[in-house]
Amino acid sequence: MFDKLEDLLIRYREIEQELSDPNVITDQNNFRKLMKEQSELADIVEKYLEYKDAQAGIEESLAMLNEESDEEIRELAKEELNTCKQKLETIEEELKILLLPKDPNDEKNVIIEIRGGAGGDEAALFAAELYRMYVRYAERNRWKVEMMNLNENGIGGFKEVIFMIHGKGAYSKLKYESGVHRVQRVPVTESGGRIHTSTATVAIMPEAEDVDVELDLNDCKFDVFRSSGNGGQSVNTTDSAIRLTHIPTGIVISCQDEKSQLKNKDKAIKILRSRLYELEQQKMQSAEAEARKSQIGTGDRSEKIRTYNFPQGRVTEHRIKLTTHQLDAVMDGDLDEIIDSLIAADQAAKLSNLQEE
């Protein structure tokens, strides 16, 4: 591990020298590439330099203990030695995590699809609440939300909503949200006061760029139709809505949120590109899963991942056996405790797998 860290430190210093070269500065493509590589190495190098400082502190403390006869100075040296040893252990664990293979999608924007599942109107209402939860989470992180497509049920619920969150590291945080979200509560639509269980499915996809997926538009069929919904000037007045069918896979995407047919078409293509990219990622993950233990699920839409129990004010994250009684805060977008715990569990699983291999 430390040979690799030393190599990374050498490379980081090489990049610093290259970035000060006037010839590199004038070559914008090379300059951007080096800046990106420097940014990716910065956290690891900074932590490794902290490790080296702690190591130097241990050596200095040991030297003082061997050379000094003054008891007061020796006591100070012992305290410094213990502090540096504890620091060294902590930094070593942090370095192991930083050296884990990076998910190439982590820095990307995300496309989120939420659909009402079992439970009819109540499921659609819950889907709308999940949408608002993620919007509030995005706002807390100062990320931008862009609506892609919305299909309402007429009473405030969402049969389907597709939207994009633009923000650095959005996928790294939200990728664990894919799966079945279950709600237990007395529905607004239920007069008998009985607790019902309903579900909504969430799919998280990294935004795919042109270089990620080869998409031949000749494989796509585009149909236009009139928007439908619960209001708005463009509803039922213009043929602005787009239905895109990807013939090789049978994927069908409808977009009607924009008044412009061209904008709806662009959004449909963007969603298709991300779905195709997700399919490729799932194939790769399935192949890897055969060779190693599965980690925290990040893509299985059929997996029941979380229960929101309103009568008890409880949220249970089933994959890591985490329960919090802060339901109101969670529904208001305070997802940090859950997401941070999922990231920690995933990192622990990956470290365990590496040690076994």
Is the pLDDT at 240 greater than 60, yes or no?
Answer: yes
**What is the token pair recorded at 170?**
């959005």
Per-residue pLDDT at 233: 42
More confident residue, 235 or 309: 309
Q: How confident is the model at residue 231 (pLDDT cuts 50, 70, 90)?
A: very low
Neighbours of 230 (CB within 10 A): 11
CB-based contact 235:227 (threshold 8 Å): yes
- Dihedral over alpha carbons 346, 347, 352, 355 (to 10 degrees): 150
CB-based contact 278:267 (threshold 8 Å): no
Could you read off the pLDDT of 320-345 as tens digits, one per residue? Answer: 999 999 999 999 999 999 999 999 99
Mean pLDDT, residues 216-230 taken together: 80
**% residues pLDDT > 90 (the chain):** 43
Tell me the C-alpha distance between 316 and 7, whole Å. 43
Is the pLDDT at 284 greater than 80, yes or no?
Answer: no
Task: List phi, psi (to 5°) of 176.
Answer: -85, 0
Mean pLDDT, residues 280-299 taken together: 57
**What is the token pair recorded at 142?**
């100062």
Question: Do β-strands 304-309 and 179-185 pair in parallel, antiparallel, or remain unpaired?
Answer: parallel
Q: How confident is the model at residue 278 (pLDDT cuts 50, 70, 90)?
A: confident
Per-residue pLDDT at 131: 97
Structure letter (DSSP) for residue 168:
T
Q: How confident is the model at residue 20 (pLDDT cuts 50, 70, 90)?
A: confident
**% residues pLDDT > 70 (the chain):** 89
Torsion 95-100-101-102 (CA) sign: negative
Mean pLDDT of the chain: 86
Domains for the chain: give ranges and CATH numbers.
Answer: 2-98 (1.20.58), 110-351 (3.30.70.1660)
Could you read off the pLDDT of 96-148 as tens digits, one per residue? Answer: 888 887 888 888 899 999 999 888 889 999 999 999 999 999 999 999 999 98
- In 3D, which of 189, 48, 207 has the Cα closest to residue 116? 189
Is the pLDDT at 287 greater than 70, yes or no?
Answer: no
Q: How confident is the model at residue 285 (pLDDT cuts 50, 70, 90)?
A: low
More confident residue, 237 or 302: 302
Find the helix or strand (DSSP H, E) in which 210 lies: none
42 Rama class: left (phi>0) / alpha (psi -120 to 50) / beta: alpha
Confidence (pTM): 0.72
Could you read off the pLDDT of 30-85 as tens digits, one per residue? Answer: 888 888 888 888 889 999 899 999 999 999 999 888 887 788 888 898 999 999 99
> Worst-scoring range by mean pLDDT, 145-159, 180-194, 218-232, 246-260?
218-232
- In 3D, which of 62, 52, 68, 53 has the Cα closest to residue 82? 62
Tell me the C-alpha distance between 97 and 345, whole Å. 12
Is the pLDDT at 301 greater than 60, yes or no?
Answer: no
> Worst-scoring range by mean pLDDT, 211-220, 240-249, 266-275?
211-220
